Amino acid sequence: MLSLILTLDHRRIEELVNIFINNPSIDVYNEIRRSYINHIYWEEEFLFKEVQDSSSLLPIIKSLEIEHGSMWIILDEIKTSDGGAMREKMESFMRILLEHDGAEEGSVYQYLESLTEEKQAKLILEEIKIATPPASWKCKALS
């Protein structure tokens, strides 16, 4: 269950990157950056801590964390680049992202399938606790 949710989030971010590569836009860039940071925050603060109990995955987790940092740096460089360089750097980001996503899906995410549904649900609830709606959002009765 949880591995599927995370895998679908990978595909969502990859699709945003493709949209940006085909038509660079600051709005799409901002959505990529926000989505990426939210995704890796949850992985590093909740998922990886849960998985580290499985010592065989510890070296993989450390490598994934280093890749997170490398991709974060590339995203920051994109914002300060101009037209062609933005696209080129986003293409580099995508190459790393695809390899990285495959590694996560083939290791850490597979481990999730060994967790009970209750344990997986508790991890999902951690995401719900930190989720924030857009600043302008109001419930239907007030909008």
Residue in this structure with the two tokens 């699709």, named with its chain if needed: 15
pLDDT digits (tens, 9 = 90+) for 57-70: 888 899 999 999 99
List pLDDT tens digits, range 11-50: 999 999 999 999 999 999 999 999 999 899 888 888 888 8
For the chain, give the percent of residues with pLDDT over 90. Answer: 48
Contact 16, 35 (CB under 8 A): yes
User: The whole model's pTM is what?
Assistant: 0.85
- Cβ count near 77 (within 10 Å): 15
